[in-house]
Every structure is written in structure tokens, then in C-alpha cells.
Structure 1
Amino acid sequence: MKPSLLLFLLFSCFHLCYCAQRYDAIFSFGDSLSDAGNLIVKNPSVYLTSKWPYGMTFFHKPTGRCSDGRLFIDFIAEAVGLPLPPPSLKSGEDFQKGANFATTGGTVLEYSFFQRRGLTKSIFTTDNLNTQISWFEQMKPSLCSTTQGCKDYVGKSLFVVGEFGGNDYNAFLFSGKSMAEVRANTPTIVDGLAKGVERLISNGAVDLVVPGILPIGCFPLYLQLYKSTSKDDYDQFGCLKKYNNVAFYHNQLLKIKLQQLQQRYPGTRVIYGDFYNAAMQFVTNPQKYGFSNGALKACCGGGGPYNVNLDYRCGQKGSNVCNDPSTYASWDGIHFTEAANRYVANGLLRGPYANPPIMS
């Protein structure tokens, strides 16, 4: 065999082995962007995500996911050859290949933080980041039994920590707090998230993806709630600038914190997930992704320019749903359609919205 051919084959093999990231399990933490049904386990009749048309596209029934189908975490699991991680609170599930601890409404900070400040109006769960990590720690002995066994198992698992933070900011914004107060509390929220990531590392996590928050100023819900008569409040794409600035500031601080964690724990791989720009691609060039109805209007809602009406929310009597969710980026005004979730996941798996990409 010619030396050049041998080198080519060796390089090809190395390249394949390096790119085919192998995980034994996947564990997900977060809020409604990741929740696979934890919120509705205890009381399925109360929440809208247990009602049609949620789940209409893929599951053909509501599952508790805040979408018409699969979430970004589901697509990541499929891409790495694992089953969709089941909701951790659901009895009778096999969690050996992973679990989804995310809960709709989940925050970074403890409920008491918001309670002391009179900000609990929009918080409907006390299941924050620390709660979810505690659930993982309680489950861990059933997944591995020895110190070395747990080190190997957890070390070969993928941890996706977030999105987290959106509901923390909602607590301030929906209560009418000033942008100055929101900004003043951003370091506390980011520090809380970083401490949660570090706690998972102390539990043996090696590969962790930590998404930033989305451009909330482009959410149909925000556009409806905070619509303005001043053109200066909007960017060139029709998004509210000051709300996107909240997300941008959070993400800048988060990237710094994650870089510090990576330096402190060089044996880990801490990946920042760029949800902000992953979502902005739908806003700036919706046609490229087949979103002929754009990104600023919900598929499912109660009418109006953004198809958002709090009196007729998706799943409530009086709301409407589009014929083809794949032509929309926004499902219900604050969450992605399955089609958008697929693109977000792909950007994390293969780039450019994760550095390094998960599959590298």
C-alpha cells in the first residue's frame, strides 16, 4: 500500500472516530423549551400543554411539550443515537439512557428570591435549577452503583443545562420592573446558572452544553404585550430592541462564566449554546428555512397581528391553529415549532451555534 494512501485511510478513520461523538445517556435540565412533560405529570388537566393542538405534528397528541412536536433536546438525542429522554417525574420509565428534568416555568433562582421581592405573579413552579439537579442526584444511585462505575457512566453522558433564565427575567418584566433593575439582577441569575453547572461537574459531568437565552424582543408574545407607537423601539426586523438587549447582556455574562469554568475544569468540555443567533436566523431570513409565515407570528393563538391574545391562548377555546406549523418558527408566541427546534438542534450539533459543536 502506498504511504500516501495509508495516511489518508488513517486520517479518515481518526476523523470518523472523532466526529462520531458517543454518549451512554443524555440528561436535560431547563424550562419550557426542554420540558417533555414534567409539569403535567402531577396534574395533567390544569395546563394547556396537556391539551390539543399541542403535540399535533409528531406525537399526534399532547405530551406536555410546549410545541407542536419534538423539542431541540429530542433532536439532539436522536442525532447521538439515544431515545428521547423521558420526563424524570413520570413513573415506570427507564432512565438508564437518560432523563429529562426540565420543567415548564423553571427558573435559575430559588422561589424565595422572587417571593422576597414580590415577583411571584408569573412564577407557577418552585422547580428551579437546584431542584432539578437534586432530582438527578436522587436518581443517580439507580443508574450506577460504584464510584468508578458512576465516573465512567456520568463521564460518558451528555448534559444539556438549559435554556435557563428566561423565566427569571419574565418575573421582573411581567411585574413591570425597570430595565435598570433587570440589568442589576442579571449577574445574580448568571452566577446561579454557573453554580448549577459546577454542581453537575462535581457530580462527574464532563460534556455539558449550556444554552444562552433567546432574543425575547422577537417573541410574538412580547411584541403583543409591549407594542409601541415609536418606530425607534424596533429594530430593522420588527423586534423590540430593549428586550433583546436583556438577552444579549445575559448571554455575554454567561459566556464569560463558562469560559472561567472551562479553565477551572480543563478535563471537561463546557459548550455555550448560542440560542440567540440560532433564533435570529429565522427572523432575518425566514424564507431560507421554509418559514413563509415568518418568525414574528404564532402558528397557534388568539388572533391579532402576532396571533397572540392572552384571553385565547393556544389550547384554549377561541384560539386558532395554522394548517402547517412547519411554515412558522413560533408555535404559540413564546416557543418554537418542531421545524424551528430541528434547525436549532442542528446548529448545536454541527455548528455554527455551538463552539465546539456537540458532534465534533
Structure 2
Amino acid sequence: MERRLIMSDFGFLLAYVTLLLSVSLEASGGPSEIKTGTAFFIFGDSSVDSGNNNYIDTIPENRGNYKPYAQNGFFKEPTGRFSDGRIIVDYIAEYANLPLIPPFLQPSAEYVNGVNFASGGAGVLSTTNQGQAIDLKTQLKHFEEVQNSLTKKLGDAETKELLSEAVYFISIGSNDYMGGYLGNPRMQEQHPPEEYVGMIIGNLTQAIQELYEKGGRKFGFLSLSPLGCLPALRALNTKSNVGSCFEEASTLALAHNNALKAVLTRIEHLFMGFKYSNSYFYNWLDDRINNPTKFGFKDGVNACCGTGPYGGIFSCGGTKKVREYQLCDNADDYVWWDSFHPTERIHEQFAKALWDGPPSYVAPYNLKDLFLTINKEKLTIGDIVDNPENEQTFYESL
């Protein structure tokens, strides 16, 4: 009897030391801490499109597969990313020990590490840039195709586990407010701003619920930026001081972000196991626009690639209606790459903030938390103290 007690005490001590070691490794931030095989599914617009629009019939403004896009040399040639190099989801995949996540429409794309469904020009509403981009509803249909493909390849049980452990990243809404509302007088006549924001958030909530019902539990959201400060909208601003941001657009973005924050808090209480990472991109980017030198930039107003006031005419690459464009000497000095999209350096900086940044940038979880979280209840040391019979179960959960 005495021997059994000693062994039990030893087992408890071993479990305790093992737990401390795992906590220490987690704090170290080493790559070995990331659970390999955690898939990454991406939905959205040009902020996260890695090349889907290369494979659809669309306008030049919705493509990024020509020079000088990807000019910094990380990619051998333009990929369809709206950047001088990588975009935010490329960095997140790297931090999660994943390969670059392929666009859904890329031939022979493998799905086990995740898929990128995003499309430049896409909106939450199917009417936004209709026929020129892959809207969110269609992206969800593509996800269902991937789910069916994975089930055939891996079987039902393994697919369910993969989908429940995966991280779902959503970055969409800007096009709904810029072209879909501010550029659409009829939509403004039919819906006051508050009602329109409600429409966008309502449809986005339905998309989240659909992914949850298909097994998704861990979600990341890139909130909207100060839209009125994009070079394209700054150049269009004729209602106030020359050079100031287009406040109507930024006000809509703020209203969207506030509404999304409230909805996510509600969903967390309603959907069992739902965990999310919501970013505060608006304030983060606004700080760099207004104080570029504080963060290692020289220019927070003008686009590196474009023409006209602030580089706000979307002509980068010379494939659009306006052929003329100017290109800066060093994109790393700029917050904005083209008239609508930030530089790779901004993508990298905010990816780091999303990954393991403080609550002022991302909350209630950061993305590192989500990738590390396993959706299974695990015993703690307290459980063993309260009930020593749990000791064996604890070992099995390590």
C-alpha cells in the first residue's frame, strides 16, 4: 500500500514537471510549439487574395499578376497578390509552420494545410462588384467543395478533426463600403448608413455561422482600415480640406468594426467552443499613416505605385484605363504600395501584431493562441489534486 502511494506521488510530480516544461516551451516562442497540421482557411478580398483572380474573367483593377507587383524579389514573378511582395496571410502561415497557402483555383492545389478562397474586389454582398470577383457566398461554396474533397481523401473522422482544429481567417468588407455603397448612389438612397452596415454585418454573421456548422471553431478577423485615408479615396475627397481623409468612408469602417466586435462577443456566448481573434487594424494603421517616421517609414500618405494626387489614380502596372504611373525607389519607405493596398512591410508588421501582439492590437486571443489551442478538454494539475484517479487520463492528454 505504501509503495503504491509513493508511485502515485512520483507520477503526480512527473506530471507537474512535464506541465511546467510545456509552459516554458510555450513562453519561449520556438517553432516546435506549433501544432503541425493545423490547417489555415482564408476568406476575403484583395487584402488576402493570393492569386484566385488569375483564374477568373475580371477587370485589370482586380488583378495583381503583372509587374511591378511582387517587385521585391521574394516571388520570382507576380502571383496575383496586391503587394510589392508578401501579404499578411503569408506571414501568418510562416509563423504557424505552414507552407504558403494556395489559392483555391490554382490547378492541383493541395488542401490538407488549408486553402485561400479570397478574391480581389470581393464583398460580403454578392452585388458588390458582381461578376468581377468571387463574393463571400461563393467562397463558402468553394469551401464546401474542399470539405467534400478532404472527406474522400482522409475519411469523415479525420476531416472533422482537421476542420475543428483549423483556423479560419476572414478579411472582407472594404469593397462593400467603397464601391458598393459610397460609389453607388442608388444603394445610398435605399439604405441609410446604419441600415447598410447592419446588412453587411448580418450577412457576415451568417457566413461565420455556416463555417461553424461545418466544423469551424477558431476564427481570425482583420478589421477594416481607415478607408478614407487610402490614397485613392484621399484623392477623391472634395468635401473638406485638400489632402485630408475622406471621412465618410472612415466613419463607415469604424461603424462596421464596432458592430463586428459586438456581434463576435455575442457569438462567443452562443456558439459552444467558438474562439476568435479580432484585430484593431483601424487604429494600428491610422497611427502609421499619421506618424510614419515613428515606425520606420518616410511616407504615410502617398502610394509608392500610381499617379495623380497621392498616387491615388489606380494605374499601377499600366494595364488599366490610365496607363501612366510612377514607381517609388524604395517601397519599404511607404505605408501604401498602390492606391488601395499597403506595402509588404505593413503586412509583415501587422502579421506580427496579429500573431502574438498585445490586447490593444488583437483580442480576446491572438492568432498564436488559436493555432496552439487544441479543441479538446484537457485535465489540469488541479483536476488531479481533486481526483487522483484522473492521473492516467492526464498522461494520455499530454
Paired residues for 1:146-165 under 5 Å? 146-161=155-170, 163-165=171-173
Structure 2 Cα separation of the partners of residues 313 and 62 of structure 1: 13
Partner of 1:222: 233
Aligned structure 1 segments of 4 or more residues deviating by more than 6 angstroms? 6-9
Partner SS state of residue 346, structure 1: helix
Partner of 1:118: none
Structure 2 Cα separation of the partners of residues 97 and 230 of structure 1: 48
Is contact 1:53–1:315 with CA below 8 Å preserved after alignment?
A: no
1:197 to 200, 204, 208: 208
After TM superposition, give the deviation of residue 249 of structure 1 in Å. Answer: 0.6
Aligned amino acid, residue 288 of structure 2: F
**Unaligned stretches of 5+ residues in structure 2:** 1-14, 370-398
Structure 2 Cα separation of the partners of residues 79 and 315 of structure 1: 34
C-alpha distance 100-341 of structure 1, shift in aligned 2 (>3 A): same
Partner of 1:74: 90
Partner of 1:24: 38
Partner of 1:119: none
Note the alpha carbon deviations across 1:118-147, whole angstroms, 9 max, x for none.
xxxx55535211110110111112223433
Partner of 1:56: 71
After TM superposition, give the deviation of residue 181 of structure 1 in Å. Answer: 2.4
More helix by share: 2
After TM superposition, give the deviation of residue 43 of structure 1 in Å. Answer: 4.6
Note the alpha carbon deviations across 1:222-266, whole angstroms, 9 max, x for none.
0001244447xx8xxx43333211111110000111111111123
C-alpha distance 60-21 of structure 1, shift in aligned 2 (>3 A): same
2:267 to 256, 261, 273: 261
Partner SS state of residue 336, structure 2: coil
Aligned residues: 339
Is contact 2:34–2:97 with CA below 8 Å preserved after alignment?
A: no
Structure 1 Cα separation of the partners of residues 22 and 337 of structure 2: 42
Partner SS state of residue 159, structure 1: strand
2:150 to 143, 162, 172: 143
Partner SS state of residue 29, structure 1: strand
Partner SS state of residue 120, structure 2: coil
Aligned amino acid, residue 302 of structure 1: T
C-alpha distance 45-214 of structure 1, shift in aligned 2 (>3 A): closer
Structure 2 Cα separation of the partners of residues 44 and 68 of structure 1: 21
Partner of 1:37: 51
Paired residues for 1:6-25 under 5 Å? 10-17=19-26, 20-22=33-35, 23-25=37-39
Partner of 1:213: 224
TM-score (norm 2): 0.78
C-alpha distance 292-123 of structure 1, shift in aligned 2 (>3 A): farther
Partner of 2:7: none
Structure 2 Cα separation of the partners of residues 226 and 178 of structure 1: 18
Percent identical across equivalent pairs? 29
Is contact 2:197–2:256 with CA below 8 Å preserved after alignment?
A: yes
Matched, 1:298 2:300: no
Partner SS state of residue 42, structure 2: strand
1:125 to 132, 136, 139: 132
Is contact 1:105–1:123 with CA below 8 Å preserved after alignment?
A: no
C-alpha distance 185-43 of structure 1, shift in aligned 2 (>3 A): closer
Is contact 1:51–1:315 with CA below 8 Å preserved after alignment?
A: no
**Unaligned stretches of 5+ residues in structure 1:** 1-5, 115-121
Matched, 1:335 2:341: yes
Aligned amino acid, residue 320 of structure 1: Q
Partner SS state of residue 104, structure 2: coil
After TM superposition, give the deviation of residue 7 of structure 1 in Å. Answer: 7.4
From the CA coordinates, give the structure whose radius of gyration is larger: 2
